[in-house]
Amino acid sequence: MAQVVAPSLSPDGLTLYAASAHTIVSYDRSSTSATFATAATTLDVAPAGEELGSPEISPSCRTLYFLGHDAMGTRVFAASR
């Protein structure tokens, strides 16, 4: 697996979000005293040549904000459920 960077913990402490090259991955755990499970791909939408980074989950855990970096610069994106 690729190196993960810019980890961000959910408000309840049960999910950790991180950037891994062209994807945003998440790690879940059952309680705040448990260890995190194997990563699951949360968002895999980066076009060729673009890197995703700096994921931040909203307080409601319904919107994930992240950066997209490419030759044109950096943009802020949001994915909601």
pTM: 0.76
10-residue stretch averages of pLDDT, the chain, 81 residues long:
76 90 85 88 71 86 86 85 81
Give the model confidence (pLDDT) of 28-46 as tens digits: 999 999 999 877 777 776 6
- 55 close to 79: Cβ distance less than 8 angstroms: no
Q: What residue ranges in 1-81 does DSSP mark as E strands?
A: 5-9, 15-20, 23-28, 40-43, 51-57, 63-70, 73-80
How far apart (Å, rounded) are the C-alpha atoms in residues 65 and 54?
8
